[in-house]
Amino acid sequence: MQHGADLFVAVRFDSCLQAPYHARAMVNPLRDRRTPQDFAASGQVIEITEKLSGFPRLAEIVEADLLALNPDRLPHDRIESQVTCRLGFGFADAQRRHPKLEGHVEVTVDAVCQRCLEVFRLPVAADLHVVFGEDQSGFAGDDGYEIWELDEETMRPLDVVEEALIMALPFVAMHPDGADCAGRMTDEAGPRETKRPFADLKSRMVNDN
């Protein structure tokens, strides 16, 4: 009996040794941390839908906006927002010196209309045409690429997606024109200068840079 138990443990231990390999294969590609060069060289393509809660900074901004509301005005049937990502890495130049990321990301979040103070579903989307790295001499402005300098050598696609969506948030969230906004008929003075968490956070981000 004792021997059998030892054998069982030994087999279990052996399979544990292989676990990192399998875990690596199943890693969420958005959380994969590599250098932009590495992503580009592998021609990594990511098509994935990820819960908003997987993007903590973005989720926090969205929640902060809703927290400004009286809780009884929050919709009872809140849907967990899904972030849709379509990303492709490659090189922007034939010499393969400039790693690029192209793609489209979008999410529809709950937001508070600053005109009528009701919650509505706000679509947020961003197109990515990004080239990574510091030395982009002779490259700036080409083909409409944005140049992103990274603080570290490596990056996670998730952080790029999150940054792009945060930058795409409107300064003032409002029902789109023509939509059913209760403030449209009565509030001729325009948006109320109440709390504007989106704007506040964005200006803080700018100051941080």
Binding site for Zn ion (CB under 5 A): 113, 115-116, 175, 181
Separation CA 112–CA 182 (nearest Å): 12
Residue 140 or 182: the one with the smaller Cβ distance to Zn ion is: 182
* Least distance in angstroms from the C-beta of 173 to Zn ion: 9
The half-sphere exposure of 67 on its side-chain side, counting CA atoms within 13 A, is 8
* Least distance in angstroms from the C-beta of 117 to Zn ion: 7
Q: Is 17 helix (H, G, I), strand (E, B) or coil?
A: helix
Residue 55 or 120: the one with the smaller Cβ distance to Zn ion is: 120
Residue 185 or 206: the one with the smaller Cβ distance to Zn ion is: 185
Residue 203, sorted as left (phi over 0), alpha (psi -120 to 50) or beta, turns out to be: alpha
* Least distance in angstroms from the C-beta of 196 to Zn ion: 14
* Least distance in angstroms from the C-beta of 17 to Zn ion: 58
* Least distance in angstroms from the C-beta of 177 to Zn ion: 10
Residue 115 or 196: the one with the smaller Cβ distance to Zn ion is: 115
Which residue in 134, 139, 137, 132 sits closest to 160, CA to CA?
132
Which residue in 28, 6, 21, 24 sits closest to 87, CA to CA?
28
What is the amino acid identity at position 54? G
Q: Are 90 and 42 in contact (CB under 8 A)?
A: no
Residue 98 or 196: the one with the smaller Cβ distance to Zn ion is: 196
